[in-house]
Each structure stands twice: as C-alpha cells, then as structure tokens.
Structure 1
C-alpha cells in the first residue's frame, strides 16, 4: 500500500515537515537525516549532530509543500 492511498491530501499537508537536515556526502550526494516542523528544532538538532559528528557536513534545507496550480481566472 503506498503512502498516497493511506493519507488524504489534507492530512499529508498537516504531516509535512519542511525543514530537513541533510548530510552532504563526498560524492556530492545528500542523505536525509531528519525532518522537522519548525526551523528552531532543526537548528537545535543540527548543533547536536555537529557536536557528535564534527567531521561530517550537514545542512538545513527548506522544502515547501506541494501545491496544485489553480490557474488564472482572468
């Protein structure tokens, strides 16, 4: 069963966690570490990661929720 069949569009929007911590790998790929509802939680977790894994490169990125284009009614 896929995720889209389990959750309605409205519930997916409520579950969306737009703040993402990614680890930048040497091969220029990224690996998602965690997702958060707000930036402050992501910043706090990033500080912890940088303290315990100082040689790794982590970044916070923002992924806006997907929206459907409604079109222009003019």
Structure 2
C-alpha cells in the first residue's frame, strides 16, 4: 500500500481530523489501521489545545469491522 492508512490533520488550533483511508481493505481494522489510530490519538493527547476530534473514513467507507483477533488487539 503506497498511502498511509491513517492521516492526522489539525485545523486552526482546536480541531484535529483523523482519517482512515485503507482503500485496499475498505478500512478493516488491520494492524496498520490500529497502529495509525493509536499514533494519531497520541498526537491529540499531546496537544492540549485540541478540543474537537473528527474521526472519519473515505468516500462511503467509515470502517468495515475486523477479525476477532484484530478487534481484541484494540484493548
């Protein structure tokens, strides 16, 4: 995959947007998506100015679920 599965952007000083965009797997909770989400939310945690987080997908896909193993790894 040539794109990053999760991107992080800040708008103004108080808004962050985290976009899941694993087009190959339609945003299934893969190791890459999980790692990207964890990294993005660490950036939010480190920036006290962020008051709003928009979590979004791409096109018509937000998330397509995951396997039991992948979902348990979220804990």
TM-score by length of 2: 0.36
TM-score by length of 1: 0.37
Task: Looking at secondary structure, tell me which structure has more helix per residue.
Answer: 1
Tell me which of the two structures has the higher relative contact order, counting C-alpha pairs closer than 8 angstroms and 6 or more residues apart: 2
